[in-house]
Amino acid sequence: MGKKLSNAPLYYTVVQVQFNPILNLDSFMPAIQSEMRGLGFPDYKREVRQRFFLNPDQHNPNSQSVPSIIQENRNLFGDIEGLSKFILDNNALTFETTNYETYETFVKCFSAGLGVVHNIINLAFTERVGLRYLDAVFPLNGEPLNEYLVNEVRGLKNMIAGNFVHTYTETVTENDAGQLISRVIIRNGAVGLPEDLAMQHVRFAHKFVSYEGEHAIIDSDAFTLMRQPFSLDGIKKTLEKLHINAGDSFKASVSDYALQTWQ
């Protein structure tokens, strides 16, 4: 569905499918781990996380909430290079990579992993399908960053006196494919991730790790919220629509000059 740009600014991609909760997930893990290893993801780890919740007294709305801690186990299956990883929770499979080549190869890999989980567990339904692309835009030839972005996402950084910290724009749209959140943040410093993705488990390419200076992060977050019977073919069709939405977000944020430079 498209040729990869030779100097593509894409540095992180994540896809997730949420499904019916599997409370006895641990009993399936030996079989799943064996199949994931066969797919080229032999680096298995278990991650334990603690989440804090406030539980209000339903019978006394004026009472103070009582905090509680819930422990969650996550199963991680990584490739040898540390560039791609599956993350399996009891109600979701996530795939993150910094080694994105083309949409077709990306979806093929994720579908293979999701197929492993479904074939062993027999998933009943899906509730959310999401696809998110992060692009780091910085000048390659010493030009101003503005040359790479359209006016609508540049903010007011050149119109207000003072030391520039950051500028942020967000646009939310809905269509038949689902919802799309288009975010652009411009800042100085090193390339990083939004706070909600700070727990990533993969390595970044050298050109993004080594860059320090003014840059823009284009965050294209496309997803659909709908409970449907599990269908791998249906998920693939949904992801294709979300991919088109995310692509439209990216193209609407960057200039023609930028696209020519990245060819």
- pLDDT computed for residue 51 by the predictor: 59
**pLDDT band at residue 167, thresholds of 50, 70 and 90?**
very high
**pLDDT band at residue 4, thresholds of 50, 70 and 90?**
low
Instruction: Report the percentage of the chain scoring pLDDT > 70.
Output: 89
Whether residue 91 contacts residue 64, with contact meaning beta carbons closer than 8 Å, is answered with: no
Residue 12 CB burial class (10 angstroms; 0-12, 13-18, ≥19) = buried
Task: State the Cα–Cα distance between residues 84 and 86, nearest whole angstrom.
Answer: 7
φ, ψ of residue 3 in degrees (nearest 5): -95, 140
For the segment 167-182, the average pLDDT, to the nearest whole number, is 95
- pLDDT computed for residue 1 by the predictor: 45
Where exactly are the structural domains of the chain?
10-262
**pLDDT band at residue 113, thresholds of 50, 70 and 90?**
very high
**pLDDT band at residue 60, thresholds of 50, 70 and 90?**
low
Nearest of 14, 18, 22 to residue 120 by alpha carbon = 22
- Between 71 and 119, residue with greater pLDDT: 119
Give every strand in the sheet of 166-175, ordered side by side.
43-55, 66-78, 84-88, 92-97, 10-19, 125-137, 215-229, 178-187, 166-175
Q: Residue 231 is encoded by which pair of tokens? A: 């269908």
Separation in Å, CA 41 to CA 33, 94, 198, 209: 9, 14, 22, 24
Tens-place pLDDT, residues 201-223: 899 999 999 999 999 999 999 99
Task: State the Cα–Cα distance between residues 243 and 180, nearest whole angstrom.
Answer: 10
- pLDDT computed for residue 158 by the predictor: 76
For the residues of 217-258, what is the DSSP string, one character each? EEEEEEEEEEEEE--HHHHHHHHHHHHHHHHHHHHHHB-HHH
**pLDDT band at residue 26, thresholds of 50, 70 and 90?**
very high
- pLDDT computed for residue 73 by the predictor: 83
Q: What's the whole-number average pLDDT of the chain? A: 90
- Between 180 and 142, residue with greater pLDDT: 180
What SS3 class is residue 63? coil
What SS3 class is residue 118? helix
Task: State the Cα–Cα distance between residues 113 and 94, nearest whole angstrom.
Answer: 10
In the predicted structure, residue 2 carries a pLDDT above the cut 60: no
In the predicted structure, residue 147 carries a pLDDT above the cut 80: yes
For the segment 80-108, the average pLDDT, to the nearest whole number, is 96
For the segment 113-132, the average pLDDT, to the nearest whole number, is 98
In the predicted structure, residue 52 carries a pLDDT above the cut 60: no
